[in-house]
Amino acid sequence: MEYVKFEKISLKNHPQLNERWLQERIAEDPTILGLGDVVLKDKERIQPRAGRLDLLLQDAESSRRYEVEIQLGSTDESHIIRTIEYWDIERKRYPQYDHTAVIIAEDITSRFLNVISLFNGVIPLMAIQMSALKRGEEIGLVFTTVVDQMSLGLVDEDEEVQETTDRAYWENRGSKNTVAMADQLLEIAKQFDAGLELKYNKFYIGLAKHGQPSNFIIFGPKKGFIRFEPRLKNSPEIRERLENAGLDVMDYDTRSGRYRIRLQSGEIEKNREVLTQVIKEAYETSSEE
C-alpha cells in the first residue's frame, strides 16, 4: 500500500472553487456528510422573508430531516443564526418530521464551538467541519462531525420522575408472546452481565442491575411484534449488517442514539447470532461511556 501526501486547500480563497461548487458535490451524494443514508430533498430552498436554505436532506428510512447551511472559511454569528432560523421555519411548516439543524464550515473555531455546544440539547444542532484535500489536479472532501446532536435519554430514565409498571401492564398493552420475546433478549444480554433484569417502565421495558437502569437495549412489545432498540452509533456498516441478516430496521432515532428493529415471533432464534453481536456491541459501548 503506497503512502500519498495530500495538500490541504482553502475553498474560500480558491480562485475557481466556491460555495456553489461545494453545494453541488454534497447534493450529488449527500452520504459523504456521514449522516447515514440521506437523500437530497431540495436545494436553495426559499424561506419566507429569510433567504434560501442551502440544502434540505432527508433520511431515506425515517422522518428525520436535516436543514443544512454551508459556509466557506470560519463560522460566524450570521451563519449560526441563519442555520437555526431555517431549522425553525422548516419544523413549523412540517411538524410531521423530526428536524435537525446542520452547519458546515471549513473552520469551526473554538469560540463558536462553545456557542454551538450551548444550543445543543435545546436545539437539535450539528456542526460539521469540512476539509478540502488536493493531489495534482484531483480534489477530495473530508467531513468531520465536531458537534453531534446530543443523545437525550428518555424521561423514564430519570429516576426522580420514573413511573414503573409491571409485567401484566405490558402483557395487556402488547401480548404475553411479545413480552416473552423480551425475556429471550434478556437471556442473551445476561451472557454479558448476569445481574441484569427486566424493568417495566410506562413507555418501554428496559434493563436494570441492582435496581439501577442499564438501558443499552430497551424493548417495546406490541400486539404482533416487539420493537428492539439497541443504543449504537449510527453507521452504514451497522445498518447494512442488520439488513443483510434479514432484520426489519425501522429507523434510527438520532435523539436517543438507538436503532429501532421490528422482531416478529420466531425471529429471535432465527437471528440469534447477529442479535447477540448487536447486544454485545451495545453493552460494550455503554460500558465505555
In a domain, 1, yes or no: no
In a domain, 2, yes or no: no
Mean local confidence (pLDDT), 230-257: 87
| Structural domain count, the chain | 2
185 in the same domain as 127: no
In a domain, 276, yes or no: yes
pLDDT the model gives residue 160: 39
pLDDT tens-place string over residues 1-59: 788 888 899 888 888 889 999 999 999 999 999 988 889 999 999 887 778 999 999 98
Query: Pick from 109, 131, 147: which residue ends a domain?
Result: 147
Residue count of the chain, please give it: 289
215 in the same domain as 176: yes
User: At residue 216, does pLDDT exceed 70?
Assistant: yes
In a domain, 42, yes or no: yes
105 in the same domain as 54: yes
162 in the same domain as 267: yes
Grid cell, residue 116, equals: 454551538
205 in the same domain as 261: yes
263 in the same domain as 234: yes
Query: Pick from 125, 147, 169: which residue ends a domain?
Result: 147
Q: 219: helix, coil or strand?
A: strand
**Cβ contact 274:247 at 8 Å:** yes
Q: 190: helix, coil or strand?
A: coil
- What residue numbers bound the domain in which 271 lies? 155-288
pLDDT the model gives residue 278: 94
135 in the same domain as 59: yes
* Alpha carbon distance 96, 35 (integer Å): 20
CATH number at residue 60: 3.40.1350.10
143 in the same domain as 160: no
Query: Pick from 129, 147, 165: which residue ends a domain?
Result: 147
159 in the same domain as 142: no
11 in the same domain as 143: yes
264 in the same domain as 187: yes
Grid cell, residue 172, equals: 395487556
pLDDT the model gives residue 17: 87
Spell out the residues 6+ positions from residue 81 whose beta carbon is closer than 8 angstroms to its own. none
In a domain, 185, yes or no: yes
Spell out the residues 6+ positions from residue 127 whose beta carbon is closer than 8 angstroms to its own. 75, 102, 103, 105, 108, 113, 116, 145, 146, 147
pLDDT tens-place string over residues 114-158: 777 777 667 888 889 999 999 888 899 999 988 886 554 444 444
189 in the same domain as 118: no
Which strand (E) or helix (H) includes residue 244?
Answer: helix 236-244
